[in-house]
Amino acid sequence: MEDDIYNLFLTSEQGWSLFGTLRLRLTQPLTSGGSLRLPPLLDAALAPATQQLTPLPITGSISIPLLLQFRAVPLRGIAFATPAGLFSFALDSGNARPAAGIQLFPFGSPDLGGFVVWGTSAYSELVFSALVRQLPRAF
């Protein structure tokens, strides 16, 4: 299975603007490639939930070089989809330090928007708004 790779642009209330990389992969692929680029109609795969959100497990990693040099923080979470396509992503780093939580929503064909919560300890965290653009694949 191939990872879907995204460029991140993060901004905070304190005026920070940071760049990063997000990698995502479906844990249980719906297509032969396991890509998050789901076809417009997923009638066969999402038949039990015709008009409801269906959770799809995903894994991935986030890398923000200015906060953590070049180490990636592992993520796991859920993508919610309908037969018309993706609705939302929710990912968390679990017990990893630094802790990261991400929620993203598609608002354009290649674009996602949402927020990232980045915590280095139990008492400090940074909240970023995120603009995410998927990189094209080389076939």
pTM here is 0.77
| pLDDT of the residue at 51 | 61
Residue 87 pLDDT exceeds 60: yes
Residue 24's closest CA among 68, 61, 54? Answer: 61
Residue 69 or 1, more confident = 69
Q: How far apart are CA 23 and CA 25, in angstroms?
A: 7
Give the mean model confidence (pLDDT) for residues 55-82: 88
| pLDDT of the residue at 95 | 80
Residue 44 or 6, more confident = 6
- Domain layout of the chain by residue ranges: 4-134
- As a whole number, the mean pLDDT across the chain is 80
Fold of the domain spanning 4-134: Lipocalin (2.40.128)
Give the mean model confidence (pLDDT) for residues 1-24: 89
Residue 96's closest CA among 111, 78, 113, 77? Answer: 77
Q: Could you read off the pLDDT of 89-103 as tens digits, one per residue?
A: 899 998 877 889 999
Give the mean model confidence (pLDDT) for residues 43-53: 55
98 close to 120: Cβ distance less than 8 angstroms: yes
Give the mean model confidence (pLDDT) for residues 123-136: 88
Residue 17 pLDDT exceeds 90: yes
